[in-house]
Structure 1
């Protein structure tokens, strides 16, 4: 009896296992059929946008500074203690009129007084020399008359020869004295002239103790205080001419050959405010070795209200412009290091290898190609899900 029950149990177990295996195989086979059918009929929905002709710019965007084109770092001509500073930052000044600051001038005034005294002494010496000439000339003329008279008396044998010789000697002495007096007058005049020059120099030095603005403009920076020691060549104030401004920036060295003075266009803005379009007015003649960059400058108009020099400027430097076939940059697919575009031929996707040029504002320039032209629809959504020859359902991206 036990043997029969064991045999029945084994048969039941075999039947259960067989049924489970059948169900498993049935389900596996059914899934393959269900998956195979959609694979053959799979259609990828995509959006397309037609290629169009657009204007492209070869350009670079950089940041720079706004500054006055004309400015002066004003330093004293002579060194000394700063006596007074007559301006504050923000004050408007006039060239040659507004006094900016002075240095201590006590010693300079004393030196000028001494030179004026020297000039007065030289003037008196010259007057004395001229008076001496007049006196000696009178004596000379008297000696000349006496000599002529004694010559006549000698001819009439009225006076002996030694008396005549005495008069001749006196005449020569008076002539020599007159020449000497004339020389002293010339010397005294030269000394007076030198004394006058010394006075002019002393006056100029004293005048240099007072520094006036060299340009019309506004005081933007004060670099020293009253009582500090000022030296020639060390600025005390900075004056800027706000009527002519410029933007300056440094461009990477790779763009050096593209920039042309008075030709290359620059669009300038600052803190969101458009400052217009200008031309490059200056290009540094060489590239800075440390920065591997070169400087450019362009003239601007007046600053917008509420802005000042020293602010940051956004510059867009345009090297060239051209029209070209354009595709949305997002439509480009990179595969195997190459740029691809997908077009739709009926309900089939076709891949095109393209050469890309400039890129502006979300559009990329597609260099001339035999297979692409203006109006050709290219896939702009879903392009990463398709391959060449895949079935697609295209929809215009504008709809």
Structure 2
């Protein structure tokens, strides 16, 4: 029993020594790991590691050469299409609308297509009545002219008698009373002549008045049927037969769809940049490219409430589907020039500067650039050492720095 107990004590001591040895080994390894981490956390050591990695590992990149191309400064707005020429047609006279001869969508020709008719029967009766009035006035004029001739003859006879009595009175061959009676007859005859002449003048004016009334009634009759003032299509029919029509109350609207204006409102700060006849506009309507147009109109003033102004351009013979009332996507070219450009994704912002990387002899080099206009994913380079022969990194530039060895995968 004593021998067994002694052996157990010897085994326990051996196990304790082994456990202590394992703990010591673990602590040594931990201290080595901490020291290793501190060592590699030092900046100069990290850079050395990167350099060593770069020397053994090539960074794959994609390059592209700068291109001489057109660049534009643009303003994108939404606009509307409207007919350059339209007519809102109303009656010239008041009356019941007898008939409307066109429907919405119908094509009309200026001066030929009848649009609607106003109270024609009553106007025809009015013309007939005015013609009768004119005939009455003419007959009255002839009657008064004949009466003037009769009164003229009576006056001439009375004047002869008066002159004779005047000579006899001077010779005291007739009494004063007889002479005075003859003088009274003469004055009455003269007054009758003047009255007859006035009646003739009145009849003449009445005839003219009747002629004017007839002309006006005939004009009203002509105005009863309204023809299209312009060529185009009926876009709206605003009244129906049987309704009362009057001047200023529209019956139909005509739009000339062969010539359309694109209209947009721009912020006031661009007013001086828009020059009619020079500034260009690119227009797209519902996916239809209308092409590049020239600004034809700039409003003479700026709206003081909204601080905007209107611009327009004319679209002649627009393609199918480009019609008044549609919305237009308008790109206005404010500035245009030709310059050297690189893909926009090649430019990076580092240290407050715009830079690109170029590849020379398999090594990346940083080049500072000054950005200009940007168009269609390309950026104009205003001031740098780049030329059309350079190989500018367009993919992989985020992974490289100055002097890094690279592998060009694609140009």
- TM-score, structure 2 as length reference: 0.82
| CA shift for structure 1 position 385 | 2.1
Q: Contact conserved, 2:94 with 2:246, CA < 8 A, in 1?
A: yes
The aligned counterpart of 1:39 is: 50
Matched, 1:263 2:278: yes
The aligned counterpart of 1:383 is: 397
Q: 2 CA distance for matches of 1:21 and 1:154?
A: 175
Q: 1 CA distance for matches of 2:12 and 2:292?
A: 102
More off after superposition, 159-168 vs 205-214: 159-168
More off after superposition, 267-276 vs 189-198: 267-276
Q: 2 CA distance for matches of 1:95 and 1:52?
A: 54
Q: Sort the Cα spacing of 1:230 and 1:166 in 2 relative to 1 into closer, same or farther, 3 A.
A: closer
| CA shift for structure 1 position 75 | 1.6
SS at 2:102 equivalent: coil
Q: Contact conserved, 1:342 with 1:352, CA < 8 A, in 2?
A: yes
Q: Sort the Cα spacing of 1:333 and 1:81 in 2 relative to 1 into closer, same or farther, 3 A.
A: farther
The aligned counterpart of 1:342 is: 357
The aligned counterpart of 1:13 is: 19
The aligned counterpart of 1:85 is: 100
Structure 1 residues 157-172: aligned runs within 5 Å: 159-172=174-187
The aligned counterpart of 2:64 is: 49
SS at 2:278 equivalent: coil
Q: 2 CA distance for matches of 1:139 and 1:254?
A: 91
| CA shift for structure 1 position 363 | 0.7
SS at 2:156 equivalent: helix
Q: Contact conserved, 2:297 with 2:311, CA < 8 A, in 1?
A: yes
Matched, 1:238 2:253: yes
SS at 2:296 equivalent: strand
Q: 1 CA distance for matches of 2:94 and 2:347?
A: 69
Q: Sort the Cα spacing of 1:4 and 1:194 in 2 relative to 1 into closer, same or farther, 3 A.
A: same
Q: Contact conserved, 2:276 with 2:297, CA < 8 A, in 1?
A: yes
| CA shift for structure 1 position 18 | 2.9
Q: Contact conserved, 2:260 with 2:323, CA < 8 A, in 1?
A: no
| CA shift for structure 1 position 197 | 2.6
Q: 2 CA distance for matches of 1:71 and 1:167?
A: 78
Q: Sort the Cα spacing of 1:45 and 1:162 in 2 relative to 1 into closer, same or farther, 3 A.
A: same
Q: 2 CA distance for matches of 1:242 and 1:260?
A: 26
| CA shift for structure 1 position 358 | 0.9
Alignment equivalent of 1:304, drawn from 319, 333, 356: 319
| CA shift for structure 1 position 393 | 0.9
More off after superposition, 307-316 vs 133-142: 307-316
Gaps of 5+ in 1: none
Q: 2 CA distance for matches of 1:119 and 1:391?
A: 109
Alignment equivalent of 1:72, drawn from 52, 76, 87: 87
More off after superposition, 259-268 vs 124-133: 124-133
Q: How many residues align?
A: 395
Q: Contact conserved, 1:248 with 1:295, CA < 8 A, in 2?
A: yes
Q: Sort the Cα spacing of 1:194 and 1:338 in 2 relative to 1 into closer, same or farther, 3 A.
A: farther
Q: 2 CA distance for matches of 1:392 and 1:45?
A: 9
| CA shift for structure 1 position 109 | 5.1
Q: Deviations over 1:204-261 (max 9, x none)?
A: 3444333221112222322222233434323221212344333333334343221111
Q: Deviations over 1:288-328 (max 9, x none)?
A: 45655432222223133465443344433323321112111
More off after superposition, 12-21 vs 254-263: 12-21
The aligned counterpart of 1:129 is: 144
| CA shift for structure 1 position 345 | 5.2
Structure 1 residues 204-243: aligned runs within 5 Å: 204-243=219-258
Q: Deviations over 1:56-85 (max 9, x none)?
A: 122334443444321111122234443211
Matched, 1:321 2:336: yes
Structure 1 residues 88-103: aligned runs within 5 Å: 88-103=103-118
Q: What's the C-alpha RMSD, in Å, of the aligned pairs?
A: 3.3
